[in-house]
Structure 1
Amino acid sequence: MTFAGLNVAKLLIDGQLVDAEGGATYENINPATEQSIGVAADASTGDIDAAIAAARRAFDETSWSTDVALRIRCLRQLHEALSKHAEPFKAMMTAEVGLPTKMVGSTFDMPVENVGWVTDLLEKYEFSQDLGLGSIEGFGAHRWTEREPYGVVGAIVPWNQPLQVALAKVAPALAAGNTVILKGPPTTPWCVSALGKLVAEYTDIPAGVFNVITSSANDRGEELITDPRVDLISFTGSTAVGRRIMELGAQTVKKCFLELGGKSPNIVFEDANLQQGIGMSTFMVCLHGGQGCATLSRLLLPRSIFEQGVQIATAMLSAMPYGDPLDPNNVMGPLNSARHRDRVEAMVDRAVAAGGTPILGGRRPPQLETGYYFEPTLFADLPEDAEIVQNEVFGPVLVIQAFEDEDDAVRIANNTIFGLSGAVFSGDHEKSKRVARKVRAGTMIVDGGIYYGSDVPFGGYKQSGIGREMGQIGFEEYLQVKALCEPA
């Protein structure tokens, strides 16, 4: 199977593009049409074992972990290959993920830019730090630290942004000198398969250093987590699965780097630009169908302007263009799968059964009979402990909560197990910064600033995860620290 010249039905194991064991494949479904767009390789336990063995051998027996110049050259080649194949990748992201063409440009361009940024960092990064002289019991010593790669990295990526997350993990892991097994998501496998083809055919990355596995089985990644030959797991996905990974990883005490879910608050004060502040939430819950971990899905408004804010949000959501992702006017396409659409619908139905009434939406759009679509949905003033207020929906559902004053806004914002992202809008910028510092979240938008960038670390507090992706801190997640000393 090819997509604009890119083979998307192969695994990459030990430098070779191969079929899954026994030639096993499974259908890849377009979420907008509910039709198969082709097949992906369906890896077996044997395929996983072969990929792990290849990565382990490549780390232990080749110069990849120590040859910085080779890593720089190979990452430059990968960056160039990605740039040259931008259009087929973008088309794949619309076809298998459901990303609207209106959004797919930046969703491709920014992650590819990150590959170049990480390579630039590698060129100037100091892996050794001199700690100077010290003395213990009269014995002098010269001390220093060196940063070394962990070894074999198992990278497990989600279906909502498979290429972006894959590159955010693979580029720094490889730059740091690790070898990698990339496990793609069952419902969006082609982007990671195509990445494997680029590595195999357009770079000098040695055999075994980078391996790609796709599978119809969600639990296939557990074999990476439990295998003692794998030194680090880098996972992006739900908090529930993150807990499972920590449990399994404990068996071999391997590092588990987790970027998990969110239920991010957007605090908009009465003196803010209400169109801007409220619009940030209404846009984000519709962008890619709300299928983003940092979506500002809780809108917090002062009680004094609550009804006005609800009216503004209702008007904005009502006007949000959605439907066919190939239509350049649409901001929102379908949800990624029938299973996920059913999950979102069930959460909304439970909220209604518990006494909530959607102000807007809450159902499959009747005008779109084909595709996994769900209407932009709005709830207001539900109890703080309501499931749909507390739990991540991962769909186009916005909840609006009222607060009494600044302290109450912070309390409500922090009243969740999550702490991934958030936002604050007010007419007093110093106030916005003050409140942002009180919200326990890893990234905060202050009066409309955008945090995403190759140099900005991304990750969460509390049950939104462990560790940071992107930036120098994200690169260093893939490095161990060794202290050394010698007689002075």
Structure 2
Amino acid sequence: MTTVESDSGVLAGDPRMLIDGELQLTAGGATFDVINPATEEVAGVATDGTTDDMARAVDAARRAFDTTEWSRDVEFRYRCLTQLHSALQRDQERLRRIVVTEVGCPVGVTWSHVESPIEEVEHWAEFGRSFQYLEDTGLHQTMGTSSRRLIHYDPVGVVGAITPWNVPFYLNVAETMPALMAGNTVVLKPAQLTPWAGSELGRIVAEETDIPAGVFNVVLSNANEVGAALSADPRVDMITFTGSTATGRAILAAGASTVKRTLLELGGKSAHVVLDDADLTKALPMAATMACIMSGQSCVLPSRILLPRSRYDEGLAILQATMEAFPIGDPWDPAVLQGPQISAGQREKVLGLIADGVASGARVLTGGGVPPQFERGYYVQPTLLADVDPDSRVAQEEIFGPVLSVIPYETEDEAVAIANNSIYGLSGEVSSADEERALAVAMRLRTGSATINGGMYFGLTSPFGGTKQSGLGRRNGAHGFQEYLEIKTLGLPA
């Protein structure tokens, strides 16, 4: 079921989906092409599932939740996820080649795409095994009587997971493994542009674990209505989604009639506030690197750099030098750190927003177009825009490309106001020689997380999510695990 080009490392993934324990193609045999974004060539195909396929997958998940012991047997779930973790470790290099092929992620930076999610499976297995699903809160006095109260954590039920293309294998794991370990059954709908990161996970579950039929399903499709059908299905108790804010709004609307629980990680337009006492030689090279290393295709990317007017030219020079030297090219080259955009459409969107920024008064200090050295591939030059209007489209819309918009400010209060001038609130960053000063500014940012002087806020043990239109709920940590659980309070006589 796979093809290999040994000279390039290109590897096509499994074209099948997993429904009710069976790896299968859609009944009509339709497929869609998977394009290698570094070459613009067809790397292989995936089965093009239908709304009927999705209905069958939801039915299987509903039946598995309602009629099997999966939701009640923690030790069995632990054993199954431990099997999956071991199997993924064995298939690690195959998964890496698939990710580079369908995403265009440089092979040298695939740790977050491959190793990190594999270890996440083990983390959730251990966390879920030790979690206290029944908590005794002791005696409580109410209206003159004493009662003993318990809190029982129940799985939500059937969870639909809809994932994006930028870090597909990681997000397929992150949105399904805590749900499974909490006792839910899952239907995964991977992104159209990166179906194999989902189909391979389904194949490994089917072939190398004891996860029962129907507990984990993967439906591949190139049709938007198939994901929409998952969101609207009344048999689905919860939707977890990472992607655009526009799609997040549609998911909320689709689930409104059944008051469906939603966990949403949506868009971002994060700001990096560089204070006037910051060491620019430490803060700015990393800022430029983070803008390019995933081709800018990251929701948490601080794509707005706020520089004090007193150090504006100094900061621009550092950013420009870093971006002009940034290694871009063939994702199979270990020295390369920036690959292509995911598709021709995404490249056109990035180039269009750059042009719009220039039309609104921004200056292009470097980049701004397609690298002339590449005849094929959806590449965009690392691009630095100066003098960006804080209210312009390029400063307000998520670009998802290797573009930094630099905005000058006069006072600290003005910098905070500019940073908060966004419908988004996913993350942010503050740099200062005075850590307490940086912390004080970070606490004024209306975001779900913030980096202070390069400190890492993201990790499996800490909650992550957004404010405003960047999402609902949290992933990771105890908060993230509990998103997939219902809370039942029980009262007993004292």
Whether TM-score is above 0.5 comes out as yes
- The aligned residue for residue 49 of structure 1 is 55
The one-letter amino acid of 1:276's match is K
- The aligned residue for residue 30 of structure 2 is 24
Distance 1:435 1:415 in 2: 15
C-alpha displacement of 1:453: 1.9
- The aligned residue for residue 394 of structure 1 is 400
Which of 67, 88, 96 does residue 61 from structure 1 map onto? 67
| Contiguous gaps of at least 5 residues in structure 2 | 5-10
Structure 2 residue 6 is the aligned partner of structure 1 residue 2: no
- The aligned residue for residue 296 of structure 1 is 302
Distance 2:184 2:341 in 1: 34
- The aligned residue for residue 330 of structure 2 is 324
Q: Deviation per CA, 1:179-224, whole angstroms, max 9, x where unpaired?
A: 0000010011101100000100111101000000111123321101
- The aligned residue for residue 305 of structure 1 is 311
SS in 1 for 2:249: helix
Distance 2:426 2:255 in 1: 22
SS in 1 for 2:487: strand
Structure 2 residue 340 is the aligned partner of structure 1 residue 334: yes
- The aligned residue for residue 439 of structure 1 is 445
Q: Percent identity?
A: 48
- The aligned residue for residue 278 of structure 1 is 284
Within 5 Å, give how 1:41-440 maps onto structure 2.
41-440=47-446
- CA separation of 1:111/1:398 partners in 2, compared to 1, >3 Å: closer, same or farther? same
The one-letter amino acid of 1:392's match is E
C-alpha displacement of 1:357: 3.0
Any conservation in 2 of the 1:185–1:218 contact (CA below 8 Å)?
no
Any conservation in 2 of the 1:298–1:400 contact (CA below 8 Å)?
yes
The one-letter amino acid of 1:155's match is A
Any conservation in 2 of the 1:301–1:400 contact (CA below 8 Å)?
yes
Any conservation in 1 of the 2:12–2:44 contact (CA below 8 Å)?
no
The one-letter amino acid of 2:74's match is V
- The aligned residue for residue 448 of structure 1 is 454
Which of 439, 463, 475 does residue 457 from structure 1 map onto? 463
Which of 472, 484, 494 does residue 466 from structure 1 map onto? 472
Distance 2:189 2:25 in 1: 15
Any conservation in 2 of the 1:280–1:296 contact (CA below 8 Å)?
no
C-alpha displacement of 1:35: 0.5
The one-letter amino acid of 1:129's match is E
The one-letter amino acid of 1:109's match is E
C-alpha displacement of 1:93: 0.6
Q: Deviation per CA, 1:237-260, whole angstroms, max 9, x where unpaired?
A: 011111111111112110111000
Distance 2:162 2:86 in 1: 24
The one-letter amino acid of 2:351's match is E
SS in 1 for 2:366: coil
C-alpha displacement of 1:451: 2.3
C-alpha displacement of 1:167: 0.7
Moved more, 212-221 or 300-309: 212-221
Distance 1:7 1:304 in 2: 52
TM-score normalized with structure 1 length: 0.98
Any conservation in 1 of the 2:363–2:387 contact (CA below 8 Å)?
no
Distance 2:40 2:13 in 1: 22
Any conservation in 2 of the 1:266–1:300 contact (CA below 8 Å)?
yes
Distance 1:399 1:189 in 2: 32
The structure 1 segments of at least 4 consecutive aligned residues displaced by more than 6 Å after TM superposition are none
- CA separation of 1:367/1:141 partners in 2, compared to 1, >3 Å: closer, same or farther? same
Q: Deviation per CA, 1:32-69, whole angstroms, max 9, x where unpaired?
A: 00001110111011100100000000000000000001
Any conservation in 1 of the 2:12–2:98 contact (CA below 8 Å)?
no
Any conservation in 2 of the 1:285–1:297 contact (CA below 8 Å)?
yes
| Contiguous gaps of at least 5 residues in structure 1 | none
Distance 1:467 1:8 in 2: 33
The one-letter amino acid of 2:358's match is V
C-alpha displacement of 1:353: 2.7
C-alpha displacement of 1:355: 3.2
Distance 1:484 1:357 in 2: 63
Distance 2:418 2:206 in 1: 50
Distance 1:137 1:418 in 2: 45
Distance 2:359 2:280 in 1: 31
| RMSD over aligned Cα atoms | 1.4
The one-letter amino acid of 1:11's match is M
Q: Deviation per CA, 1:341-366, whole angstroms, max 9, x where unpaired?
A: 11111112222233333121111112
C-alpha displacement of 1:138: 4.2
C-alpha displacement of 1:405: 2.0
Moved more, 359-368 or 154-163: 359-368
Give the length in aligned residue pairs. Answer: 488
